[in-house]
Structure 1
Amino acid sequence: MIPFTIDGQSVEGKEDGNVLEVALDAGIEIPNLCYHESVKPYGACRLCLVEVVRNGRSRMTTSCTYPVQKGIEVLTRSEKVLRARRMMIELILAMCPGDTLIQTMAEEMGVTEVRFKKEEKDCILCGLCARVCDEVVGAHAIQFASRGDRREMVPPFAGEAMNCIACGACVVVCPVNVIGMKEQGDERTILRWNRTLKLKKCKVCGNTFAPWFQLEKFREQAKLPKDFYDTCYTCRS
């Protein structure tokens, strides 16, 4: 374990760890929107900015992408850090002014007015949905498209999300809950990607439990028997 300090508190982190995860494990609050322990750090929202002092020199950096290093001093609430975070949350609030989570975070940081042009979007472009789809699920069903204020998260070539297996992982990790999932009858729909797939019925209890496409992909990846998903988890256990 590698020793360093956060706000004067002695902490230790793994060699391949980052400052944000060590801080959160130690109960030190650092705001963030695009971080999730299941995927690689991305630093998109920039709300987890901290000041790192090393060898007498300081720099501002995103704590989720800054690696644990011996002897560094991390400041999470310096005036420089708080000022930068207020700017970032104000920009996000201008982009998505109607989101209650963003409104709450902005209020907690002391931002009550927006000086920038409001865009009335709902997606904060954190990239969590695409990263979990790529790195965890392996479906590669969605991606960033365009640049600047036209940047958005869409299926490849802005067409139908043909690779989406309707597993719902993107729905779970989205911090602002804008993707959405609906089950009706024997179908599941991922609303934002307009992807609807049939659900498989358990041969024992008769209940639907997951999309056929999802189960077949997982079965092939794990090289499981063809009848492995004929029954649901409850009936198998």
Structure 2
Amino acid sequence: MVTLTINGREHQAEEGTTILELARSRGIPIPALCNHEAVKPYGACRLCMVEIAKDGRSRLVTSCLYQVEEGLEVQTHSEKVINVRRGIVELLLSRCPNVRVVRDLATELHIKEPLFPIENEDEDCILCGLCARVCTEVVGVSAISLVNKGTGKEAASPFHDVANDCIGCLSCAFVCPTGAIKAEDREGYREIPKWGVRLKLKQCETCGYLFAPEKQLQYISKHECIPEDSLNRCQDCRSKAGG
């Protein structure tokens, strides 16, 4: 265990714990839009920056990546930290002016209007990379990625074509902090317009409910070594049948 202070209060944590993990476990608010427990920390959004001090020297670090240390002094809302967060949120507000989570952060930081010109008022992707990371690290498919650099950077399927490797599991939509990834089940298919995907849904052999894309079930069968005929029923019917 190591002992450190956050905002002047002493805390103990196991070695290897990040500052963000410790802060959240103690109810200390630190904003972060690119962090999710399902994937490795990445430090893309930079909103979780905190000021640390040790041996008389201080600096700013991303709390989702920086691990606790003995004697570390952490400030989550120092003047330097707030100034950095304001700059980041001003950029996000100019990119995604109508995204609620961004507007909420702007309100907390007393930012009333975007500082920079707005290019697209309908933009809702903040380029956090969570969708691509969960697709690769958790699902193991890598159907999407962050492409290009600078102002042309975006989350997209390979070559902006249909994401042929996508299994329609919607893990990307689940972790997206802004709701940028939309999906709809209709007429027997699951459609994910952002990835150009339209996948046939499997009908439960017991109740007739269309419960998951056939491609997703095939993927699960192959990678988890589960017979395909064991996946012919929806979760409710499997639960009722006890298997």
Same fold (TM over 0.5): yes
1:108 aligns with 2:132: no
Q: Summarize the alignment of residues 14-33 of structure 1 with structure 2, pairs less than 5 Å apart.
A: 14-33=14-33
Query: 1:148-167: CA deviations, max 9, x gaps?
Result: 00111111122110011111
Which of 216, 219, 222 is residue 217 of structure 1 equivalent to? Answer: 219
> Residues of 2 paired with 1:136 and 1:100: CA distance?
27
> Residues of 1 paired with 2:171 and 2:231: CA distance?
19
Which of 134, 139, 142 is residue 137 of structure 1 equivalent to? Answer: 139
Q: CA RMSD in A?
A: 1.3
Instruction: Return structure 1 stretches of 4+ with deviation > 3 angstroms.
Output: none
Q: How far 1:119 sits from its partner (Å)?
A: 2.4
1:43 aligns with 2:38: no
* 2:174 aligned partner: 172
Q: How far 1:3 sits from its partner (Å)?
A: 2.5
Q: Which amino acid aligns with 1:57?
A: R
> Residues of 1 paired with 2:2 and 2:226: CA distance?
41
Identity across the alignment (%): 46
Query: 1:130-176: CA deviations, max 9, x gaps?
Result: 01111111110101111100111111122110011111111111111
Query: 1:161-193: CA deviations, max 9, x gaps?
Result: 001111111111111101111011321111211
Aligned residue-pair number: 237
- Any gaps of 5 or more consecutive residues in structure 1? none
Q: How far 1:101 sits from its partner (Å)?
A: 2.0
Q: How far 1:55 sits from its partner (Å)?
A: 2.0
1:96 aligns with 2:96: yes
**TM-score, structure 2 normalization:** 0.93
Which of 187, 192, 201 is residue 190 of structure 1 equivalent to? Answer: 192
- Any gaps of 5 or more consecutive residues in structure 2? none
> Residues of 2 paired with 1:14 and 1:227: CA distance?
45
* 1:123 aligned partner: 125
**TM-score, structure 1 normalization:** 0.95
Q: Which amino acid aligns with 2:187?
A: G
